[in-house]
Amino acid sequence: MLSGKVAFVSGGSGAVGGAIVRVLAREGCRVAHSYLNNPEKATQLDRELSSGGAEVRSYPLDVRDGKAAVDLCATVENDLDPIDILVNNAGVAQVMPFALIEEDDWDLVLDVNVKGMFQVTKAFARGMVRRKAGSIINIGSLAGMRMLEVPVHYATAKSAVVGFTLSLAREFGRYGVRVNAVVPGMLEEGVAANIPDKQRDQYTQHCALSRTGRPEEVAELVAFLASDRSGYINAQAICVDGGI
């Protein structure tokens, strides 16, 4: 499905990011991904997939650093070829009530989840625009789409992912570059690992499938949106939530 394509996934060492890297590699994509605080896990993922014949490489990156993102784009394109697929997955969450959120907390969550998405997209999308082809997939959250008991700064940041996606899709459509968002509900791993059992139980009670999701289920949709099979899907925020 993606043979010959080159992808970059930010935050590839996490549960969702790792699943996305695995599925893209399985579909024949050459994959570069970034990490910030977990080089061991990123290296382990590279070795695991490379041993199976895939071409996967990891690189350190703080997504808030625009110059670092530009430099990394040049490095990746030198190592692997021009980027066809960009997955903005890197993010951070904090579980705390509104009254306890300090300005530094707000800045961290908004900077990583929103500014980081902007910086990475600005760096990696330039080549797509020049070549008039490409697919950008932004990873949102149901926290930004539904009235849920979630931290306000995280919900705000993930709401911004949808606005960013819609506006960029309109602007980049004239260049043949598609922009979509994948919006996971509560998953078994990743951010949801810190969710209290009470909230997890409430979610499954209201979920039509009566369960939490798996990172791989998010990754499968990302791979489809990255492929030419989804060539007329643009400016969409698609929920992967089991039916909420």
Calculate helix-pair angle for 103-110, 152-172, nearest 10 degrees.
30
User: What's the rounded Cα separation, in Å, for the pair 72 and 204?
Assistant: 40
By C-alpha distance, which of 137, 237, 189 is closest to 16?
189
In degrees, rounded to 5, the angle at the alpha carbon of residue 39 between the alpha carbons of residues 38 and 44 is: 105
Given the residues 154, 175, 203, 232, select the one marked as catalytic: 154
Please count the other Cβ atoms lying within 10 Å of the Cβ belonging to residue 224. 18
Contacts of 75 (CB under 8 A, 6+ apart): 59
Any catalytic annotation for residue 154? yes
The dihedral sign for the CA sequence 13, 14, 18, 20: negative
The amino acid occupying position 207 is C
Catalytic residue set:
154
